[in-house]
Amino acid sequence: MSKTWFITGTSSGFGRLLTEKLLARGDRVAATLRRMDALDDLRATYGDKLWIASLDLTDQQAVRTTVDRAFTELGRIDVVVNNAGYGLFGAAEEVSDEEIRRQIDTNLIGSIQIIRAALPHLRAQGGGLIQQVASEGGQITYPSFSLYHATKWGIEGFVDAVSKEVAPFGIKFTIVEPGPTRTDFARGLAIAEPMDVYADTPAGDVRRAIFNGGFDIKGDPNRMADAMIAYADQDNPPLRLALGSSTYPSIRTALESRLAELEAHKATTLAMDFDD
């Protein structure tokens, strides 16, 4: 049975790939993006199978209006893919107040508001799935990506909690955690002005690796998009889905490190209650 999808950020990357693949298999897609002409080729091929709307995630009223209109005009939406976002690159001291606000407004608040706008519709129709595109950066960190990580760790915590709130209504979530992937992510980075004091620090090392091609990026976005679709077709998709051969060891190492630290201080942790 064909599905109807609502996908943000469809002009490139995962959003574009998902839209292409879903239309090709006969599904309907409600696609949002900043440049309306970016999907002209797909509209010419698939006609009314593709519903398009311009959307800036930092405009909270537009988010609600667009989501409401999509559900009203399409009747039912089975899967919502919260995909739109970008990376802010720079040490915490290097990024400006304006850059911080835009990063949080887009990646975190924008994603939260898409979910909040979709929930009443998903409840009314008896359920559905929300795929939140996060990152391995929602569970691990790199220097110079502190604000990006803040948004990805933040949206993972939000989704984890909301998934418990709405489970009784048949609404499910999957947090998708891609590792380094050959998409346009690097091209879309917002880059803060560097400070000389960070040149010979881990933040400077990452900056050089990013701009000198020092990262080995193996992730295949086509395979990842196929996996997202396959898991959306499952009756009981996982809450978290890590994607990429480097992602597995990175996340596993981070989780084991946190668990080891928790265990190392277990006695202190357990000694913090009142004595009865």
CB 196 within 8 A of CB 91: no
From the candidates 46, 86, 148, 198, which is the catalytic residue? 148
- pLDDT 10s digits, 182-195: 766 666 668 888 88
* 198 included as an active-site residue: no
Cross-strand pairs, 54: 33
- pLDDT 10s digits, 223-244: 999 999 999 999 999 999 999 9
Q: Is the pLDDT of residue 18 over 90?
A: yes
CB 248 within 8 A of CB 257: no
Q: Residue 188: what pLDDT?
A: 67
- pLDDT 10s digits, 97-121: 999 999 999 999 999 999 999 999 9
Q: Helix (H, G, I), strand (E, B), or coil: what is residue 269? A: helix
Q: Is the pLDDT of residue 213 over 80?
A: no
What does pLDDT average to over the chain? 93
Q: Is the pLDDT of residue 202 over 70?
A: yes
Instruction: Give the span between the Cα atoms of 9 and 16, in whole angstroms.
Output: 8
Q: Is the pLDDT of residue 1 over 80?
A: no
Of the chain, the percentage scoring pLDDT greater than 90 comes to 78
Q: Residue 121: what pLDDT?
A: 98
Instruction: Give the span between the Cα atoms of 102 and 106, in whole angstroms.
Output: 6
Give mean pLDDT, residues 118-129: 98
Q: Residue 210: what pLDDT?
A: 78
43, with CB counted inside 10 A (0-12, 13-18, 19+), is middle
pTM for this prediction: 0.93
CA distances from 95 to 105, 123, 147 (A): 15, 40, 9
Q: Is the pLDDT of residue 129 over 90?
A: yes
Of 10 and 186, the one with more pLDDT: 10
Q: Is the pLDDT of residue 61 over 90?
A: yes
